[in-house]
Structure formats: C-alpha cells, structure tokens
Structure 1
C-alpha cells in the first residue's frame, strides 16, 4: 500500500463517556486529527475524549448529521486540509484498527469512497437488532432499484476523499446522513466500493436501535431520503 496521506477522523458522539476513550485508543497512530463532535452530551464524553487526545468540537443541536457537519466545519477551518476523512461511531461497535483496510482502495486509486460493510464482515451475535438488519436490507435494495446504487450496508464506518466529500454538499442533520452520502456519491459518479468490516455489541444503549422511537424515526428518514434524491 502507498504511503499514508493526511487522514482526519470524525466521531459524532452523544453520551459515550464509557466507550469513547477505547475508540480513540484503537485508532491508528498515522491519523492526524481525531475530531469528536460532542452532540450535546449530558455526561463526561467531552472530558474523556480530550483526555484521550481528541479534538472536541461542540454541537448543541442533536442530530447525527448535524454533529458530522460541525466536525467538518472545524476541519475546513484548518490551514492544511486532509486528503481523506474517515467517519467512525463512538460506541466501540466498530473496530478502528481496521481503518488501514478501509482506506486502502483510496490509496490504491481504486475508489473515492469506501463503505465498511457489516453485511460482508463478521458480526458479533446481538450486535445488530432485527430492525437494523432488515432496515439495511430494505434501504440498500431500494437504492439499487430506484437509484441504481449497489451497496450492502449503510454502515457508519466509512472513508472518503475530502474534496469529494465537500463537493457532495451534505445537508442532512440526522438519520439520513449516511444514505445521503451514498446516494449523492453514486449520482455524482464517484468511484465507490465496500470492504468487509467486523462489528461487535456497542457499549451502552443505542440512541436509534435501542428505542422504538429511534427505530421508526431512522427508518422513516432513510426511506424519505431515498425518494428525495430520486
């Protein structure tokens, strides 16, 4: 694999004080900035993340996409811009050490965006609920037949060339963030691919799959986003 370019990592986080240090610790040391977007947490997420070596930015408006946009704004303000940005959850369900495999297709000039697919990797039993598995299948199937986009997962663990990401003009502020990126990347003609990633039970309770409101809210927004960009 070619030499590592400048890579920044974005971690949207809401009440992840028990897991965030583990995530940060397992991120490869060739990453330049680890940007934790503290999404109005009521616990010690920010303090723990800073102590672990991350740059913490604050976003008071709740929303996965909103947190990601705030972290992106901080990166844009830096004098030297990254070449690649990796998105990663703060609940320790992903394996940050697999980041090398995630960015490899970009370094080999085979892709502009790489999705870490949990569907292609090994999942710890209980790491994804039945609504999550079904929702991913339904969303990716709809994307295939409506947009022609071929994905197996909407996994949050993903890498994308920074200037390509900026050109997508991301706007979603909550549950539609991941699928918006994938649809827009497909429509823009970006080269994309998936690599298998492993997945384990998260630390703590999911804000989406852990509640009925979260499951239905996410499902509704994902389907709405698919038709929005039809």
Structure 2
C-alpha cells in the first residue's frame, strides 16, 4: 500500500507566541506544513522557521480566513489536506484519527466540538446558541447530520477540493461553505469528536455578530444553488 502524503495548512496573523505550542506538536509523519501569513507585524514567520526549518511560508493575498486557506491549498502538494488554527486551541495529535477516517473511505472529515468525546473551552453561551441554530438550519435545508458547523479543524482528500468552492468564501464563513458544499456534492462525510481549548495568547479575530451574519448569508446563498454535479467518479488515490 502506498502511504498518502499529508499537508497541514496553518493560517496566521500575529501568532508568534502561540506557534511554539502548535508546530512542535504536529505529528512527525506530516510531510508538509504550510504557514499562510496575513501580514503579521510580529515575528510570526521567523518563529515558524525557527521551530520548523522546512515550513513553507505563503503570503496571504488578501484579507480573510477563506483567502488564507485558498492560498494554502493552492500551494499544498499533499494527497490529504488538513486545516489547523494557529492559536493553540486544536490538538494536532487528533490528526491521526482524521487521516484514519479518510483512509477508511471518507472524502471529507470534520472535527466536532459537540459529538460525544468532544468539547470546547473557547465558546461563549451565545456562540453555542448561534451554532445550534445554524446547524439545524443547515439540516433542514441541505440534510446531513452535522453537529458542528463553524469549527476550523477539517481534513479532506485533495481531489475533492474543486467541489468545495473555497475561492468564493473569503472570511470565517469558509468552514460553513466547505461543509455545505460537501453535502451538496454527496461527498462521504465523517464527523469526529474534537476538543477545543481556549486560545493560549492574544485575541481572536472572529467577530461574533458580523461573522455570524456572514455565515447565515452563506447558508441562504447556497440554499438557492444546486451545488453542482454530485461526485460520482472513481478516484485514483494512493491507498
């Protein structure tokens, strides 16, 4: 069996203090780590290169998390792509379970803070309530059984990237866009429990009301699209 290569994409904006808690914990079997930097004015890039000399640094072309991920995906060479936040909230050791689910037949794997075994220490009650409402709206309109919608810890095979429409979701709505597009194109989706810890240093760039509104608009917009042709091809994967 040929072992697939794995690329991890890490978007950053002023995360120099957090990277020592993130990059060294990425498993040794990950072949490529791509840091997409959004014009940090601290020494984020220098710290990243010191911690991991082989890291690939990409300059983010425009503002927004979606734009950062799109740039990272374009630069990645791996068969499997994993998105990881740089604030220390997600545990890189969970990647093994994500990759295992992909090797077992999944196309798209979502981390969930709300499945049994998952949890979050970084979400206020009103954000929990908003997530609950958005999840149920997606279930009603698109089907599926998502328990989490806006979490940034996901993994998928590179060959499904064209179906996810990443390039048209510039901000924090990117996770919602990818999740809905995966449903619309009938990808094999697996949710796995994930534990989200509080950000270690700094303040999140997420703005609850404006970004929640962008997520809602994304759901409404995609609700009026067919989502394109369902995936029905036999893929040539290195497994």
Q: TM-score, normalised by structure 1?
A: 0.89
C-alpha separation in 2, matches of 1:4 and 1:97: 18
CA displacement at 1:60 relative to structure 2: 4.8
Q: Match of 2:129? A: 134
SS in 2 for 1:10: strand
- Is 2:92 the partner of 1:91? no
Q: 2:172 aligns with which of 161, 172, 175?
A: 175
Matched residues in 2 for 1:228 and 1:70: separation?
23
- Alpha-carbon deviation of 1:74? 1.5
TM superposition shift of 1:127: 2.0
Runs ≥4 in structure 1, deviation > 2 angstroms? Answer: 121-124, 166-169
Which of 179, 182, 187 is 1:185 aligned to?
182
Matched, 1:123 2:119: yes
Report the CA distance between 1:166 and its aligned residue. 2.6
SS in 2 for 1:229: helix
Residue number in structure 2 paired with 1:50: 49
RMSD across aligned positions (CA): 1.5
Residue equivalent to 1:211: none
- Structure-2 separation of matches of 1:50 and 1:184: 34
- 1:162 maps to which residue? 158
Residue 10 of structure 1 and its aligned partner are, at CA, apart by 0.5
Given that 2:18 and 2:88 are in contact with CA atoms closer than 8 Å, whether structure 1 keeps it comes out as: yes
CA distance in 2, matches of 1:44, 1:166: 33
**For residue 36 of structure 1, what is the aligned residue in structure 2?**
35
Gaps spanning 5+ residues in structure 2: where? 224-239
**Could you tell me whether the CA contact under 8 Å between 1:40 and 1:60 is conserved in 2?**
no
Q: Is the 8 A contact 2:164 2:177 kept in 1?
A: no
* Residues 227, 97 of structure 1: alpha-carbon distance in 2 compared, 3 angstrom cutoff: same
Counterparts of residues 200-211 of structure 1 (less than 5 Å): 200-203=197-200, 204-208=202-206
CA offset at residue 61 of structure 1?
2.2
Query: Gaps spanning 5+ residues in structure 1: where?
Result: 76-80, 209-213
Change beyond 3 A, Cα 1:4–1:24: farther
Q: Give yes or no for the alignment of 1:220 onto 2:209.
A: no
Measure, in 2, the Cα distance between the counterparts of 1:130 and 1:37: 31
Q: 3-state DSSP class of the match of 2:22?
A: helix
Q: Is the 8 A contact 1:82 1:162 kept in 2?
A: yes
The CA deviation string for residues 132-182 of structure 1, in whole angstroms up to 9 with x for no partner, is 212221111110001113211121111001110133332211021000000
Rounded to whole Å, the distance in 2 between the matches of 1:127 and 1:168 is 27
Distance 1:135 1:49 in 2: 34
- Residues in 2 aligned to 1:199 and 1:4: alpha-carbon distance in whole angstroms: 29
TM-score between the two structures when normalised by the length of structure 2: 0.86
Q: Which residue of 1 aligns with 2:19?
A: 20
